[in-house]
Structure 1
Amino acid sequence: MKLSLSDFERRNFLVLTFAGIINAIGVTIFLAPVKLYDTGISGTSMLLGQLTPSTFSLSMFLLILNIPLFLYGLKKQGPVFTIYAIYTVIIYSIFAWLIEDVLPINVSIASPLAGTDLLLCSLFGGLITGTASGFSLRFGGAMDGIEVLAVIFSKQLGISVGAFVMVYNVILYTICGFCLQSWILPLYSIVTYMAAIKAIDFIIEGFDRAKCAIIVTDQADDICDALSKEFQTGMTRLAARGGYSGEDKTMIYFILNRFQITTMKNIIRKIDPKAYIVISEVADVFPMNQAQ
Structure 2
Amino acid sequence: MEIMSKRSKLEEIVLIIIGVFLLAASVNMVYEPIGMVTGGVSGLAIVIKHYTKNIISGGIPVWVSNTVINIPLFIVAWFVLGKKYIGKTLFATVCFSVALSIVPRVNLEHQDLLLAAVYGGVLGGIGLGLVFATYATTGGTDLLSAIVNHYIKHHSVGKMLMVIDGTIVALGAVVFGLQKAAYAVIAVYITTKVMDSILEGFKFAKLAYIISEKNEEIAQEILTDMDRGVTGISTMGMYMRKERKMLFCVVSQKEIIQIKDIVAKKDPKAFVIVSDVREVMGEGFIEYRQ
Q: Give TM-score scaled by structure 1 length.
A: 0.69
Of 280, 284, 289, the residue aligned with 1:287 is 284
Task: Tell me the distance in 2 between the aligned counterparts of 1:181 and 1:120.
Answer: 18
1:137-286 matched pairs, under 5 angstroms: 137-151=132-146, 153=149, 156-159=153-156, 161-162=157-158, 164-177=160-173, 179-180=174-175, 182-206=177-201, 209-213=204-208, 220-225=215-220, 232-237=226-231, 252-257=248-253, 260=256, 264=260, 273=271, 277=273, 279-283=275-279
Residues 239 and 202 of structure 1, relative CA distance in 2, 3 Å threshold: closer
Match of 1:4?
A: none
Residues 280 and 11 of structure 1, relative CA distance in 2, 3 Å threshold: closer
**CA RMSD in angstroms, aligned pairs only:** 4.2
- How far the C-alpha of 1:215 sits from its partner, in A, is 5.8
Runs of 4+ in 1 over 6 A off after TM superposition: 216-219
Residues 281 and 193 of structure 1, relative CA distance in 2, 3 Å threshold: same
Letter in 1 for 2:230: T
Task: Tell me the distance in 2 between the aligned counterparts of 1:11 and 1:278.
Answer: 32
CA contact (8 A) 1:81 1:141 kept: no
Q: Secondary structure at the match of 2:8?
A: helix
CA contact (8 A) 2:141 2:165 kept: no
Task: Tell me the distance in 2 between the aligned counterparts of 1:48 and 1:24.
Answer: 17
Letter in 2 for 1:182: G
- How far the C-alpha of 1:31 sits from its partner, in A, is 1.0
Match of 1:25?
A: 25
Residues 123 and 167 of structure 1, relative CA distance in 2, 3 Å threshold: same
Task: Tell me the distance in 2 between the aligned counterparts of 1:259 and 1:174.
Answer: 48
Gaps of 5+ in 1: 1-6, 100-104
Gaps of 5+ in 2: 1-6, 286-290
Match of 2:118?
A: 123
- How far the C-alpha of 1:136 sits from its partner, in A, is 1.8
Of 91, 95, 119, the residue aligned with 2:95 is 91
Task: Tell me the distance in 1 between the aligned counterparts of 2:8 and 2:171.
Answer: 42
Q: Secondary structure at the match of 2:231?
A: strand
Task: Tell me the distance in 1 between the aligned counterparts of 2:213 and 2:78.
Answer: 51
Q: Using the aligned pairs only, state the percent identity.
A: 18
